[in-house]
Amino acid sequence: MAFPSRLLTVLVCAVVLAGCKAKADGSGDAALTSTAAVASQSVGSKQGGDDAPPAEKTGGFDGKRAFAQVAKQVGFGPRPSGSAAIGQLQEYIQNELTSYGCKVDTDSFTADTPVGRLLMKNIVANVLGDKPGIIILATHYDTKLMQNFVGADDAGSSTGVMLELARLLCSKRGAYQVWITFFDGEEAMKEWSDADSRYGSRQMAAKMGMSGDIPKIKAFLLADIVGTRPPRFKRESDSTNWLVDLVWGTAKRLGYGDVFLDKSLEVSDDHDPFLKRKVPCVDVIDLENYPGGNLYYWHTPEDTLDKVSARSLAITGHVFLESVKQLQSK
């Protein structure tokens, strides 16, 4: 995304890499729990998975599991579009979604970029609905093309949230379909521009426009950089007012008024191609320069696992879950 305007220890890497090779079955689930426990100890109990509230207090959303999913991603190393590492992550995401009982659709496409033609893939977990209409929950899963950049917060955090949401939602048929979407190619290969960024979301928006599916989208909820400690989400100024009000109102009702703030911020992100097609969109993102904020590590090799809080993931996931319930009742 464009803001207008220590690598991990050997211990953490070794543990996470080992966990990433586990299959998405019962043994993989155990490995995910083990990865979370060791990673939390490695980054500090107050700065890792141990700070998550119990799932029964966040609508069933398990912040520790979401944190473990971030650790899994970091274990693959840098994951820019077209790399071998992102190919491993794609396989992992698809296996995880399948293990949750999700119907998984993929769209492999090639994109012309400033560094050459790259193969990219969008991944969608499709939760069935009873009547026409689609609610899209979205993240990007690629990391910026940069040496030693493992992208724990950008975009490991939001991808971890979406994987945990898929685990909870794929077995729950609602009024409308829910598409839990993982975009490739959000990051610019060189300099952020309309042509060099948001490859995956532009691809999906264009395809849905051609197929006539764009009008079926009831709401598009994007998460990006949601693991910050503490999180402070401002209302993205280009997002759709009524949908921002719904999400922010849900957050306040749940007791997160100190996290979802009534201040504005403008960010270019994966919701833009859908906004241009008049789809109601909201972008939940923490990207601001405040004391203790995340701009000091944004798009630097400092974006490591210790920057991510399971509590922040749990808050984000809880708000998304309850917002989906609100949208399903409309």
- For 225-289, give the DSSP string: S---SS--EEEETTS-HHHHHHHHHHHHHTT-TTTEEEEEE--B-TTHHHHTTT--EEEEE----
Whether 65 is covered by a domain: the verdict is no
| Residue 221: strand, helix, or coil | strand
Identify whether the C-beta of residue 145 lies closer than 8 Å to the C-beta of residue 80. yes
Identify whether the C-beta of residue 199 lies closer than 8 Å to the C-beta of residue 120. yes
Whether 231 is covered by a domain: the verdict is yes
| Residue 31: strand, helix, or coil | helix
Predicted pLDDT of residue 5: 39
Residue whose token pair is 């893939």: 121
Task: Give the total number of structural domains in the chain.
Answer: 1
Per-residue pLDDT of the chain (330 residues; tens, 9 = 90+): 765 433 333 333 333 333 333 333 343 565 565 555 545 444 444 445 568 999 999 999 999 999 999 999 999 999 999 999 999 999 999 999 999 999 999 999 999 999 999 999 999 999 999 999 999 999 999 999 999 999 999 999 999 999 999 999 999 999 999 999 999 999 999 999 999 999 999 999 999 999 999 999 999 999 999 999 889 999 999 999 999 999 999 999 999 999 999 999 999 999 999 999 999 999 999 998 777 788 999 999 999 999 999 999 999 999 999 999 999 998
Half-sphere exposure of 154 (CA within 13 A, CB side): 26
Identify whether the C-beta of residue 168 lies closer than 8 Å to the C-beta of residue 145. no
Cα 191 to chain centroid distance, Å, stands at: 22
* Residues counted in the chain: 330
Angle of the 310-328 helix axis to the 241-253 helix axis, nearest 10: 120
Going by C-alpha positions, the residue among 323, 23, 10 that lies closest to residue 174 is 323
Distance CA 102, CA 271 (A): 23
| Residue 141: strand, helix, or coil | coil
CB atoms within 10 A of CB 88: 17
C-alpha torsion sign, points 58, 50, 166, 60: negative
Whether 36 is covered by a domain: the verdict is no
Helix H or strand E encompassing 104 = strand 103-113
Distance CA 106, CA 91 (A): 11
Predicted pLDDT of residue 42: 46
Residue 285 pairs in a beta bridge with 224
Identify whether the C-beta of residue 155 lies closer than 8 Å to the C-beta of residue 186. yes
Whether 203 is covered by a domain: the verdict is yes
Whether 220 is covered by a domain: the verdict is yes
Distance CA 127, CA 53 (A): 27
First to last CA, the chain: 31
Residue-number span of the structural domain to which 322 is assigned: 78-328
Whether 93 is covered by a domain: the verdict is yes
Whether 105 is covered by a domain: the verdict is yes
Whether 1 is covered by a domain: the verdict is no
- CATH code at 101? 3.40.630.10
